[in-house]
Chains A and B, each alone.
Chain A
Amino acid sequence: MRIREPFKLVAVGTIWFWLITFALLPNLLVIIAGFLERGSDEFVTFAFTLDSYRRLLDPLYLGVLLNSLYLAAVTTVLCLLLGFPFAYLLTRLPTRWRPLLLLLVIIPFWTSSLVRTYAMVIILQTNGLLNQLLLELGLIAEPLELLYTGPAVIAGMLYTLLPFMILPLYAALEKLDRRLIEAARDLGAGRVTIFLRIVVPLTLPGIIAGCMLTFLPGLGMFYVADLLGGAKALLVGNLIRDQFLSARDWPFGAATSVMLTVLMGLLLWAYYLSSRRASRGALP
């Protein structure tokens, strides 16, 4: 049999193979591992158990989970509050400035988060820049213990994740048809009404995308918590890492990760629904 279009076969075959092997399969294994028992020599033994998921409900771990959710949520909300006006202002600037200003947002986006977190450490240190500045200005008498605190972790996450919120917001706001706002004004709507009833619904996909890109990494970024929060901060990300590397409780780590994945799935679904709605309501 002569193969028609071998190129098509190779191209499609390769990507399918790769995705199945390295994207689909591993995640299936994670789900399975969550249901297995922890092994003594090996990492897992093939015995079905719901233990890991039950442990998730243990107040100790639940506390970790809630703490992480709280931190990530706070970061996300802050990113949204800071990022939305910023993205909006960007879309109002004359077009010739935009490529440059966008580039200035894109650069931190692509720059290593680790490096940027480290930069925060430099600033927040006891003899760091912020303290020195405050001392110089006479606002404080003694340097503040900024590092290894909750707020430091939030500041660090905010710093790292803000570009991830800005870019999807910008993309959504840019697509917003200005004429819709004018029409609403013409019909007598005030600023708040316009914002709540027109801008938000139409940019919802962008908002959700931004929240996804901020919230999920926020749950997982253990190195931010490590560097800025010290050993005290036990977040979901650290929890997972510890289970896999120190405690060797893979099933538990897997279960935790699955929970993260479920969360991600929910957010993705919300995104999908909102973008369907938004596109149905859009002008042709």
Chain B
Amino acid sequence: MNLKRAVRSAYLVLIYGFLYTPILVLVVYSFNGSKYSLEWRGLTWEWYRNLFDDPDLLQVALNSAVLATLSATMATLIGTMAAVALYRYRFFGKQLLNALIFVLMMTPDIVMGIALLILFASLSLPLGFWTLLLAHITFNIPFVVVTVLSRISGFDRHLVEAAKDLGATEFQTFRRVVLPLLMPAVVAGWLLSFTLSMDDVMVSFFVTGPTFEILPLKIYSMVRLGVTPEINALCTIMLGVTLSMILLAQLLLREKT
């Protein structure tokens, strides 16, 4: 019996180890004093300082943050309204809409990337900030919808009826009753969208332009040239940001009404 347990635990630990070791190595080595080899040469913040001394890099990071914030906000707006509509209303093509959102979520990044590229090209839109923004909003929406929808299903229908009974219009009901109760899921959706946006490589790859550089693509080009401690540091920061957002989102989603 105990052998069975031991084997099981060992397996779990193995897989977790596999999943986390590379990341941990990355983080640890971002503090490594040695620049070239992987020998440990003491703790240092040097690489992080180098990052902050690079104004180009900071600008790129800011670009990404702005893009992520805007796209997350827009996607959350559209996605939340869509989730509420899907849950509450009957309308023409509802099943189709559901299916479309699902397909959108499942679409491989590369397919979405070139599809949007072709769209922008045919509209003669110059590639840059705006095309990036539109693309990011598009791939974020399904995640917001799914997050909010899963929260909505626990919603007491009578609350909406009570609000209408007391004189509230659809919008007033949404604003004063539905939205406050959905808030944790809405915020979680925003956080997830922000993360997705900050991390996106493939869709951005196709729709980006020379005028607006973003962080993931910058990292990609840096990484192709080889491993450096500065990249380690940069990646560690990205990991940290992602981690905190995801943790926060999970906390919000776990709260019971």
Q: Establish whether A and B are touching in the complex (CB under 8 Å).
A: yes
Q: Which residues from chain A sit less than 8 Å from chain B, CB to CB?
A: 5-8, 10-12, 14-16, 18-19, 22-27, 29-30, 33, 43, 82, 85-86, 89-90, 92, 99, 101, 103-108, 110-116, 118-123, 125, 127-129, 132, 159, 162-163, 212-213, 216-217, 219-223, 226-227, 237, 240-241, 244-245, 250, 253-254, 257, 260-261, 264, 268
How far is B22's CA from A260's CA once the two chains are assembled, in angstroms?
30
Shortest CB distance A105–B (Å): 7
The segment from B55-63, B84-92, B153-161 found at the interface with A is B84-92
Contact A127 B37 (CB under 8 A): yes
Q: With A120-B22, A268-B106 as given contacts, are A226 and B224 in contact (CB-CB < 8 Å)?
A: yes
Residues of B within 8 A of A82 (CB): 15
Q: Which of B33-67 contact A (CB under 8 A)?
A: 37-38
Is B162 an interface position by the 8 A CB rule? no
A to B CB contacts below 8 Å, 5 in the list: A89-B8, A110-B195, A115-B26, A115-B199, A159-B22
Q: Which of B93-122 contact A (CB under 8 A)?
A: 93, 97, 100-101, 103-104, 106-112, 114-119, 121-122
Contact A16 B97 (CB under 8 A): yes
Give the total number of A-B pairs whose CB atoms are below 8 A apart. 223
User: Please, what's the 1-or-0 string for B186-215, where 1 marks a CB less than 8 Å from any CB in chain A?
Assistant: 000000100110110110011000000000
Residues of B within 8 A of A110 (CB): 192, 195-196, 199, 242, 246
Contact with B239, one of A106, A115, A217 (Cβ below 8 angstroms)? A115
Shortest CB distance B37–A (Å): 6
Contact B205 A7 (CB under 8 A): no
Q: With A89-B8, A104-B16 as given contacts, are A114 and B115 in contact (CB-CB < 8 Å)?
A: no
Contact A128 B11 (CB under 8 A): no
What 7 new A-B contacts, CB under 8 Å, besides A116-B22, A118-B219? A8-B91, A105-B19, A112-B238, A129-B38, A162-B15, A220-B202, A260-B110
